[in-house]
Amino acid sequence: MANRNKILVPSAREELDKLKARVMKEQGYAVNMDKPNDVKYEIAEELSIPLKKGYNGKLTSEQAGKIGGSIGGSMVKEMIRMAQEQMLKK
């Protein structure tokens, strides 16, 4: 499944994937550092959402949001924490 998320700086994809892996690992998920996007399957299973590799057109927006929201929300919280830490250093 191709990653269709658009980021402003394409070269930042690798670092964002590392951040995702680190944040989700800290939350107790089994994250494969080579495939950090696969954590979504573990989250879906935990939430009893039938996410599978390939086509998932039958998922509702709510179901997809629960999976992606927990990942993205955790990443945003961590980025805010990191930014605040940097501001305190200056």
Residue 67 domain boundaries: 10-89
17-24 own/partner pairs: CB under 8 Å, 24+ apart: 19/75, 19/78, 19/79, 20/71, 20/75, 22/78, 23/74, 23/75, 23/78, 24/71, 24/74
Total number of domains constituting the chain: 1
The two structure tokens encoding residue 10: 């394409």
Q: pTM value?
A: 0.75
- Let me know if residue 58 belongs to a domain: yes
Residue with tokens 């949001």: 65
Q: Is residue 41 one of the residues assigned to a domain? A: yes
Q: Is residue 1 part of a domain?
A: no
Q: Is residue 29 part of a domain?
A: yes
* 24 in a structural domain: yes
Chain segment 33-78, per-residue pLDDT in tens: 888 889 999 999 999 999 999 899 899 999 999 999 989 999 999 9
